[in-house]
Amino acid sequence: MENILDNAVQNGKKITVLGKTASYIPELGRVNKEYLGVCVCTGNGIYHKSGDADVRFTIQSISKVISLAVALERCGFEKTFDRVGMEPSGDSFDSLVKLDLTSDYPSNPMINSGAIAIASHLVSEVSFEKMLWFTRKLCVDDDITLDEKVYRSEMDHISRNKAIAYLLESKGILANSVEESLDFYVRMCSLSVTAASLAGFGLVLASGGIHPVTGERLLHSRVVQTVKTIMLTCGMYDGSGRFAVEVGVPSKSGVGGGILSVVDKRMGIGIFGPSLDEKGNSLAGQYVLRELSSILKLHMFADYEGE
Ligand code: GLU
């Protein structure tokens, strides 16, 4: 396994020059775009790592998976999907066009508008401290903290998300003020994880919501089923379709360069590669996942026997 990961990372490093870091959040723009790390977590929590798998970076949009899971646990399926749809938007993650023109609620919980709507309802349900505690558990990583610098940097450059939040408020979708909703949303985006933390979280999802080491149930299986399906259809921004065809593994990316991938019943995969393509997905990270999918036979719809 380690050899396969090393090769993929070595080759992936070569294309990190072709992408860009997410400079619309200045603190993310300053990150070294040559970083590339991967971690695969299998069995009862066995970690296989290569490259920069222990470097901390902010979780960004991957937190949308956690917020959706907690919303489903606390508010239930119907209430949650009353405020946000479950269809791919086909637009960029920070778009407000459809929300303004053709729909009364966000397309899905994996884009900014959907996640801000979910955050505004979570404000009434659960404290940020509790969310942090639960994120540590889900990621099997007690060292996750709030990255104050990134949090500040995003709060100082929040205009676009503020516009989305006001639009949501005008449509009656927010349960709390624009300020409270955005503060909760940005805090969740600013949690510092590693590729290894994401791999741990991936394994919990791959195991149907069970903690791989303690055996404790952290999420209901129906919640995990819903979350993984939405990751497959909407998790890679407006690149979700191609990624599903090429890799065939439910995944969620973030503009910090992270990707969380779940190979059902088998493994969790975490990626860190902050050099992004034009859609906001880690460029080299996607390369590594294409390689792993083909070499380790991970595509959920492939007929490897019949080939
Ligand atoms: N905090 C980022 C934003 O709201 C998250 C975007 C992402 O990772 O897709 O713009």
Residue 8: C-alpha distances to residues 24, 47, 231 (Å)? 29, 17, 23
Known catalytic residues?
A: 61, 64, 185, 237, 255
Which tokens hold the place of 66? 């956690």
| DSSP for 15-36, written as a single string | TGGGSB--TTSHHHHTS-TT--
C-alpha 60 – ligand 1 centre gap (Å): 5
Nearest Cα residue to atom 6 of ligand 1: 61
Is the CB of residue 58 less than 8 Å from the CB of residue 216?
A: no
Question: What residue ranges define each of the domains in the chain, with the CATH number in brackets?
Answer: 2-60+191-296 (3.40.710.10), 62-188 (3.40.710.10)
How many angstroms separate the alpha carbon of residue 43 from the centre of ligand 1? 31
Residue 307 has pLDDT above 80, yes or no: no
**Residue-level pLDDT at 10:** 97
Whether the pLDDT of residue 90 is over 80: the answer is: no
What is the tens place of the pLDDT at every residue in 150-165?
A: 999 999 999 999 999 9
* pTM of the predicted protein model: 0.96
Cβ–ligand 1 contact at 161 (below 6 Å): yes
* Per-residue pLDDT tens over the stretch 32-63: 999 999 999 998 889 999 999 999 999 999 99
> What whole-number distance in Å separates Cα of residue 203 and Cα of residue 185?
24
Whether ligand 1 lies within 6 angstroms of the CB of 109 is answered as no
Q: What is the mean pLDDT of residues 200-211?
A: 96
Burial string for 121-139 (b: 16+ CB within 10 Å, else e) reads: bbbeebeeeebbebbbbbb
Q: How confident is the model at residue 99 (pLDDT cuts 50, 70, 90)?
A: confident
Question: Which of 21, 24, 25, 278 for a ligand 1 pocket mutation test, highest count of atoms within 8 Å of Cβ?
Answer: 25
Residues 104-144: tens digit of each pLDDT:
789 899 999 999 999 999 999 999 999 999 999 999 999 99
The residue contributing the CA closest to ligand 1 atom 2 is 60
Q: Which atom of ligand 1 is nearest to the CA of 254?
A: 8
255 in ligand 1 pocket by Cβ < 6 Å? yes
Amino acid of residue 106: P
59, 160, 161, 189: residue to mutate for ligand 1 pocket, most atoms within 8 A of CB = 189
Phi then psi dihedrals of residue 236, to 5 deg: -115, 40
CB under 8 Å to 63, separation ≥6 — which residues?
Answer: 115, 135, 188, 189, 191, 254
- Answer whether 282 contacts ligand 1 (Cβ < 6 A): no
Of 187, 202, 172, 210, the C-alpha closest to 122 is 187
Cα 110 to averaged position of ligand 1 atoms, centre (Å) = 10
The radius of gyration of the chain's CA atoms, rounded to the nearest angstrom, is 18
Pocket probe mutation, ligand 1, options 28, 60, 240, max atoms within 8 Å of Cβ: 60
Going from the Cα of 254 to the center of ligand 1, the distance in angstroms, rounded, reads: 7
Show Cβ contacts of residue 189 under 8 Å, excluding neighbours closer than 6 positions. Answer: 58, 59, 60, 61, 63, 150, 154, 254
